[in-house]
Structure 1
């Protein structure tokens, strides 16, 4: 037993003293050192990539905040422009104040002349034509609206007349926006709104029973009910869910088509995001939206920018490497048979 141990020890000492074995041991040590260095470099590279991802996410968040800031500034600028426009219109209205005073005075004199006539008296014109009694004129408004005088400095809203063939809701919305600038009481709103009627709409207004409209709410409700058949049907959230990205359709085209429809729909932003993701074809952008769901369509557009650029570059690269098509222009002249002289 002792002899066996001594023999093994002697062999190990001989192996250590052997140059070939020393070279092998040295090589093993070098390989171990290389492995250790590679592991450290891999860890450093992983840390660096983690930092880059973190910085990219911070930059994307910063860009998102900047976009919200720009939208807020644009809204403020639009409000300032509307205020300046209202101010300019008010100045023009003040310039016409004298003319309006003359008109109101003439209107007062006309009313006094009408009320001074007997109830059953018929006015006769210069050519003997019969005129309508004030009592015979249609009066759809109640007496409190009739008695309300339009202020002399009131700025009459500029709006396209409604003839009875357009969308009543769009006409009502346009009138309300103009009245936000002009102001005025409920009775003034009734009179100004009736002044926008022409054609069929004016005939309908004159046929409303006398003293049956006590407020602008009632007038607008009757107006919408009468011309509801002309309402333009806007898309709904169900129509938005049916939008799909076509086979081979670019992300830019699909995003533009989707946003063109969603802007006409009034709904929650999360429903827009879900419908957009549902209609996407399987792609790296689709996977990124599944991993990290965006908060709004603005966030979707920001994140889609880099993918759209990548798609455009790939398309240009494929087009550049695509072999040119050889067109064979075969004409009658080329097929003509030449005969020898």
Structure 2
């Protein structure tokens, strides 16, 4: 007999349902194991590829290191070579000057000498530009040679091989060779030869006179004042200098500022085009004398036939 205290009896498919669940669980676990193995295999493949890449990078680094070492050794061999190539033609510079190196970033003077210019003026410009960039004595020799062109370069090449050993020596040879091209030294009394041209403005004459003063390097203020008063053309500023004589050339330039400004305004007014006055639209234009005469003549001509016809009828 069935004990009433016992629970309900499980149906006939109760055991099969439990086994089915176990089987499904086992299948899920097997799928996870398979997926885990696949992941491990994929990680191993990635690790192998990474090792191959690292090996290729190592080989590339070694090859690059060998190339850099070869370049460094080649550069060292080049530095051990002579600084200047063997001479293919006679060069007036000594070997010490030829061995002097000039940086590729060095900017040389932008001036040339063809053999017809003033040597003193050329040397002045060269010294001024070299003072800005600097350079040793040998560098100055080489850069001065680069400024020579034409017949001046022919003269330089004609010097004895290795004859030039310093820049002062080269400067002296240069001056002696072109001494005939030197401008005559200015004299203080040359200021009295400067005259204002016809049509030359006060500003232009003052600039030209001042440039000559700088060239002469004179300090005689009285002579400069008298020379300027003599050279300027008659005009308002000349009259002002006569009535109130300045004592220095600086005072002349200071007093000339107002006259230069006034002269500019007057020239501007003289050169501008004066507009014509517009005519009124409704205002009748007056007749000229010959137009009025021509208009009256046809009336007299028409009146003569009418008068003749009346006489004939009578």
> Structure 1 length normalisation: TM-score?
0.44
Larger radius of gyration: 2
